[in-house]
């Protein structure tokens, strides 16, 4: 075993209470960063749920649309202009908007309507656990997610309510289609969606374009953009980025999450730095002896960095365990903390970086050691 | 005469700053030769440890030059001086300065590890060095499990394991009882028999004069006398006898 590792580990274990406190500090710090970055990822995913599940190669939307929930409208004529463009096989209309759900027991609750043409597809409910998409053709039929039953005052298939004065009946139930705004999604047909949101009959929010097999999506996108006025034509990936960037950075939510993560890093760095500094101070005689017997500064720096890395690895292992518990606990909430292999690697790298940065103060201290002090102690 | 392993020429050293500045060494020259145990004696504050630090490349002199195995140390930076120390000097300190969390073998091995020596070979050499100082049975003992004399033996093993040109010992017997002190000095004298290695011992205690090949007396930053070990011993024994005679109480006549 390397003597550097042995010296480092024994220096740390020399004061076990302090070492345990350090590891706990690292765990808290890494869990805080995990939660913040996990929320960032979860938020980034949940704000694009609808875009991710739409069957579209391209989206046509009013110019300047910021995100999926932006209720600006397009003229229905745009659809025919789009269909006339070479390479376009379908332009499915979608209407979205907010409406009030009248609770059976009285009172209202805001809902978000997502309406599509059942024959053309577009944006239909997925993850159905009861009922069917076809059942939405029945007059007044809607689909809701079962996680919102309580809020909507219903108990499953066949439940009745009212939206904008019109009677609706739950004919399909989904699982896991949650909105980060806590406003339940209600899926329905195009005409009913217009009626619920007060959208004029000749208006829609989006056209979801499918290109012909073999056609180049980018070329079709350019042609659509050139021939249609006052619209944006985006691929799903572009719309996803635009929506994500609006919600994360346009609203400041992303900055808040990053600030939390940064705070976690700073707290962790300070805790580890404090420990390494005081541990180095406690072992200053030993470092001076090393220097006196001709040890290079690099060797001593390696001992201190090794102490930092041991703390980091141990702290990260415990933090990863706590992080997994947090991920499991938030999996079914409106805003789950998401953990991916890439995020795990990033967190591990951040933990190592944080601990190595923490070693700087201790390194500066040992760099100043005068080996002659061994004669006076 | 053999080439000195380490040599200090006209060394001047000022310590402190401003009004507190003192001249610790005032133009001292001293050569340490292989196969010789040199005893550096003098009162507290005479400059013994400062001279030892300069000879061991821990301190740089204000004036004069140091030659380590023929190489001038002038202008060398802290890392070059550290390299000279790990390659040519073995230190033995009054308070041992062992690592309490490491075994005797690992404490000795440190001197080789800092040189980047292969781990398995370093362990074997460390065990050999411990055997040489009479601690073959305590290779896995931690410093706190050893007596003061045994700890100093571990420190000596650490000093010699890298086969240095010079072994510099600062009051190596000061923390030990007479018997352990004698054993340590016997060991250092044996180490000094190697013609490629010089041993310098800084000490106060005249009882160790008998181990010295040469005795250098230093006072107030200057070498005041240099003599052969046996001559110094004889003089000391003579002084002791005279002192004993002087100390006899006068007869009181009634």
Q: What is the pLDDT of residues A337-355, one digit of tens each?
A: 889 999 999 989 988 998 8
- Average of pLDDT values for B34-60? 93
Which domains are assigned to chain B? 4-246 (3.40.50.300)
In terms of domains, do A134 and A203 share one?
A: yes
State chain A's mean pLDDT as an integer.
Answer: 89
- Average of pLDDT values for A5-12? 90
Q: Do B82 and A374 touch (CB under 8 A)?
A: no
Within-domain flag for A205: yes
Which residue has better confidence, B23 or A104? B23
Integer Cα distance of B219 and B221 in angstroms:
5
Phi-psi label, residue B53: left if phi above 0, alpha if psi -120 to 50, beta otherwise: alpha
Q: Give the E-state strand segments of chain A in sequence order.
A: 58-62, 74-75, 88-102, 108-116, 128-131, 141-145, 160-163, 166-174, 185-189, 203-204, 206-211, 231-235
User: In B, which residues are within 8 Å of A299 by CB distance?
Assistant: 114
In terms of domains, do A263 and A368 share one?
A: yes
Within-domain flag for A327: yes
In this structure, are residues A339 and A14 in contact, taking their beta carbons and an 8 Å threshold? no
Within-domain flag for A154: yes
In this structure, are residues B230 and B37 in contact, taking their beta carbons and an 8 Å threshold? no
Within-domain flag for A53: no
In terms of domains, do A225 and A294 share one?
A: no
Q: Distance of CA A50 to CAs A3, A134, B227, Å?
A: 57, 19, 97
| pLDDT confidence of residue B244 | 57
Residue B32: both structure tokens together: 């340490």
In terms of domains, do A152 and A189 share one?
A: yes
Question: Does the pLDDT value for residue B249 go beyond 60?
Answer: no
Binned at pLDDT 50, 70 and 90, residue A377 comes out as low
In this structure, are residues B199 and B166 in contact, taking their beta carbons and an 8 Å threshold? yes
In this structure, are residues B52 and B24 in contact, taking their beta carbons and an 8 Å threshold? no
Torsion sign (Cα): A292, B13, A377, B156: positive
In terms of domains, do A200 and A288 share one?
A: no
Within-domain flag for A247: no
Question: Does the pLDDT value for residue B16 go beyond 50?
Answer: yes
Question: How many domains are there within chain A?
Answer: 2
Within-domain flag for A55: no
- Minimum-distance CB partner of A14 among B58, B84, B101: B101
In terms of domains, do A346 and A282 share one?
A: yes
Within-domain flag for A126: yes
In this structure, are residues A151 and A200 in contact, taking their beta carbons and an 8 Å threshold? no
In terms of domains, do A20 and A86 share one?
A: no
Residue A318: both structure tokens together: 């415990």
Binned at pLDDT 50, 70 and 90, residue A176 comes out as confident
Question: What domain range is A123 assigned to?
Answer: 64-229
pLDDT for B169-201, tens place per residue?
Answer: 999 988 888 888 899 999 999 999 988 899 999
| pLDDT confidence of residue B151 | 95
In terms of domains, do A345 and A202 share one?
A: no
In terms of domains, do A289 and A205 share one?
A: no
- Average of pLDDT values for A120-138? 91
Integer Cα distance of A79 and A7 in angstroms:
73
In terms of domains, do A41 and A74 share one?
A: no
In terms of domains, do A73 and A154 share one?
A: yes
- Minimum-distance CB partner of A294 among B102, B114, B170: B114
Give the 3-state secondary structure of residue A293: coil
Integer Cα distance of B166 and A112 in angstroms:
86
Best CA proximity match to B90, nearest among B202, B197, B186, B171: B197
Q: State pTM to two decimals.
A: 0.77
- For A318-370, give the DSSP string: HHHHHHHHHHHHHTTSSSPPP--HHHHHHHHHHHHHHHHHHHHHHHHHHHT--
Residue of A nearest to B81 (CA): A294
Interface of B with A (CB under 8 A): 49, 52-53, 58-59, 78-79, 82-87, 89-91, 93-95, 97, 99, 101-102, 106, 109-111, 113-115, 119, 158, 170
Integer Cα distance of B96 and B113 in angstroms:
19
Within-domain flag for A274: yes
Q: Do A296 and B99 touch (CB under 8 A)?
A: no
Integer Cα distance of A200 and A99 in angstroms:
15
In terms of domains, do A124 and A178 share one?
A: yes
Q: Give the E-state strand segments of B60-175 in sequence order.
A: 63-68, 71-72, 89-92, 166-170
């Amino acid at each position: 075993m390397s003597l550097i590792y042995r010296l480092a580990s024994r220096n740390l274990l020399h004061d076990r209470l302090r070492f345990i406190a350090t590891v706990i500090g690292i765990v808290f710090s890494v869990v805080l960063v995990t939660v913040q970055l996990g929320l960032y990822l979860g938020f980034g995913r949940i704000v694009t749920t609808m875009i991710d599940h739409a069957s579209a190669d391209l989206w046509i939307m009013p110019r300047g649309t910021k995100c999926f929930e932006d209720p600006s409208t397009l003229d229905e004529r745009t659809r025919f202009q789009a269909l006339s463009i070479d390479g376009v096989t379908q332009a499915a209309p979608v209407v979205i908007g907010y409406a009030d759900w009248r609770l059976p027991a009285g009172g209202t609750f805001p809902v978000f309507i997502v309406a599509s043409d059942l024959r053309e597809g577009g944006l239909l409910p997925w993850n159905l656990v009861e009922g069917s998409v076809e059942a939405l053709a029945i007059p007044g039929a809607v689909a809701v997610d079962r996680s919102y039953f309580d809020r909507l005052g219903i108990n499953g298939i066949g439940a009745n309510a009212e939206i904008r004065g019109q009677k609706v009946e739950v004919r399909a139930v989904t699982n896991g289609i949650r909105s980060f705004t806590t406003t339940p999604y209600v899926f329905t047909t195009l005409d009913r969606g217009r009626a619920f949101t007060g959208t004029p009959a000749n208006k829609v929010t989006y056209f979801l374009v499918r290109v012909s097999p073999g056609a180049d999506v980018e070329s079709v996108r350019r042609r659509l953009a050139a021939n249609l006025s006052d619209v944006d034509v985006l691929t799903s990936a572009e719309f996803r980025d635009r929506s994500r960037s609006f919600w994360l950075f346009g609203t400041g939510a992303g900055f808040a999450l990053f600030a939390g993560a940064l705070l976690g890093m700073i707290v962790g760095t300070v805790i580890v730095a404090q420990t390494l500094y005081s541990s180095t101070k406690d072992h200053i005689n030993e470092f001076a002896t090393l220097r006196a017997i001709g040890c290079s500064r690099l060797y001593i720096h390696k001992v201190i960095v090794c102490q930092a890395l041991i703390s980091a690895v141990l702290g990260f292992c415990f933090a990863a365990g706590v992080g997994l518990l947090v991920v499991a606990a938030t999996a079914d909430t409106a805003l789950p903390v998401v953990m991916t292999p890439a995020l795990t690697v990033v967190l591990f790298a951040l933990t190592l970086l944080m601990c190595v940065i923490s070693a700087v103060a201790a390194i500066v201290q040992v760099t100043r050691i005068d080996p002659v002090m061994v004669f006076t102690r | 005469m053999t080439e000195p392993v380490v040599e200090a020429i006209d060394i001047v050293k000022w310590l402190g700053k401003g009004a507190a500045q003192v001249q610790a060494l005032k133009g001292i020259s001293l050569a340490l030769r292989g196969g010789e145990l040199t005893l550096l004696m003098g009162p507290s504050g005479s400059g013994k440890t400062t001279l030892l630090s300069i000879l061991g490349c821990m301190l740089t002199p204000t004036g004069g030059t140091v030659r380590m195995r023929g190489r001038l140390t002038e202008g060398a930076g802290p890392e070059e001086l550290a390299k000279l120390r790990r390659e040519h000097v073995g230190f033995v300190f009054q308070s041992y300065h062992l690592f309490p969390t490491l075994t005797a073998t690992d404490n000795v091995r440190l001197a080789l590890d800092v040189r980047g020596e292969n781990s398995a070979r370093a362990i074997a050499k460390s065990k050999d060095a411990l055997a040489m100082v009479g601690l073959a049975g305590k290779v896995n003992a931690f410093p706190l499990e050893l007596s003061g004399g045994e700890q100093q033996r571990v420190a000596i093993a650490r000093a010699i394991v890298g086969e240095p040109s010079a072994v510099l010992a600062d009051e190596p017997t000061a923390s030990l009882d007479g018997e352990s002190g004698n054993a340590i000095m016997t060991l250092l004298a044996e180490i000094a028999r190697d013609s490629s290695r010089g041993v310098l011992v800084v000490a106060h205690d005249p009882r160790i004069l008998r181990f010295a090949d040469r005795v250098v007396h230093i006072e107030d930053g200057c070498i005041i006398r240099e003599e052969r070990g046996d001559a110094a011993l004889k003089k000391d024994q003579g002084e002791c006898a005279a002192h004993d005679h002087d100390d006899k109480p006068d007869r009181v006549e009634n």
